[in-house]
Amino acid sequence: MEETKTILVTGGTRGIGKQVALKYAQSGYNVAINYVSENTDTKSLEKELKEAGAKDVLLIKANVTNSEEISKLIEEIITKYGAIDVLVNNAGITKDNLLMRMNEEEFDKVIEVNLKGTYIVTKAVTKYMMKKRKGSIINLSSVVGVAGNAGQCNYSASKAGIIGFTKSLAKELASRNIRANAVAPGFIETDMTSVLPENIKENISSQIPLKRMGTAKEVAELVYFLGEDTSSYITGQVINIDGGMLM
């Protein structure tokens, strides 16, 4: 019988992370998720993931910027499931502003959650992947990390940083049979983009070759492919999923 695999999705309670968790649940994975919001309805999320097919579910409040909380989270996953086969660094935030109006708190917070958080979680997880000599790490970057975007100097810097981080990681860990790739979504319909006014969304969609925003499910399909052995010869890549925005 095939062993049950385990995935950790950071920030998997909503949006892209939740769809990634559901996709892996459908393949019978143990699904571990962390989050930060006090009012997260963990009971109904656990039920949804189990109904989707998850072998087991672990939902733990742990901030990606807090290395102690993350260490405890990883230890708990390892104690329960013995390994982490796939890590998806998905937790992320925006604090948009034009550079002239952007204060240091807005800059630091976005770098801290998006980039340093990815470092903290990856460092804690790779220790166990190295022992197993197998693993796949998928980091959520963004098209704006590749192309930039007015009003998002902090966010673009964090997402460009994730690309450099991913490529270095891929080079460091390839000899241990651990792959690392980044996905760079364009505009995806989630809470993160729901704050944009309707006219801005329409304007964005009109400039996308496929003439629409993407869905979290579409991103989850790509993240699933990168986590599985079907992508076993792909590492150190940045894969755009953006309806043709960047080409």
The total number of residues shown for the chain amounts to 247
Distance from C-alpha of 41 to C-alpha of 186, rounded to nearest angstrom: 28
With contacts defined by CB under 6 A, how many residues of the chain interact with ligand NAP? 30
155 assigned to active site: yes
Distance from C-alpha of 103 to C-alpha of 137, rounded to nearest angstrom: 32
The stretch among 14-22, 24-32, 75-83, 202-210 that binds ligand NAP (CB under 6 A) is 14-22
Residue 34 touching ligand NAP (CB under 6 A): yes
Amino acid letter at 97? N
Residue 191 touching ligand NAP (CB under 6 A): yes
Residue 39 dihedral angles phi and psi, to the nearest 5°: -95, 25
The stretch among 28-36, 97-105, 167-175, 226-234 that binds ligand NAP (CB under 6 A) is 28-36
What is the smallest separation between the CB atom of 154 and ligand NAP, expressed in angstroms? 12
Residue 65 touching ligand NAP (CB under 6 A): yes
Nearer to ligand NAP, 108 or 174 (CB): 108
Considering only 22, 31, 87, 140, the residue that binds ligand NAP (CB under 6 A) is: 140
Site string for ligand NAP, 98-117 (x = CB under 6 A): ---------------x---x
Considering only 5, 11, 152, 243, the residue that binds ligand NAP (CB under 6 A) is: 11
The stretch among 9-17, 41-49, 98-106, 223-231 that binds ligand NAP (CB under 6 A) is 9-17
CB 241 within 8 A of CB 223: no
**Which of these is catalytic: 35, 128, 155, 224?**
155
DSSP for the chain reads -PPPPEEEEETTTSHHHHHHHHHHHTTT-EEEEEE--TT--HHHHHHHHHHHT-SEEEEEE--TT-HHHHHHHHHHHHHHHS---EEEE-------B-GGG--HHHHHHHIIIIIIHHHHHHHHHHHHHHHHT-EEEEEE--HHHHH--TTBHHHHHHHHHHHHHHHHHHHHHGGGTEEEEEEEE-SEESHHHHTS-HHHHHHHHHHSTTSS-EEHHHHHHHHHHHHSGGGTT--S-EEEESTTS--
What is the smallest separation between the CB atom of 69 and ligand NAP, expressed in angstroms? 9
Residue 185 touching ligand NAP (CB under 6 A): yes
Considering only 15, 135, 161, 227, the residue that binds ligand NAP (CB under 6 A) is: 15
The stretch among 46-54, 63-71, 95-103, 202-210 that binds ligand NAP (CB under 6 A) is 63-71
Residue 71 touching ligand NAP (CB under 6 A): no
Rg, Å, the chain Cα set? 17
Residue 152 touching ligand NAP (CB under 6 A): no
Binding site for ligand NAP (CB under 6 A): 10-11, 13-17, 34-37, 40, 63-65, 90-93, 113, 117, 140, 142, 185, 187-188, 190-193
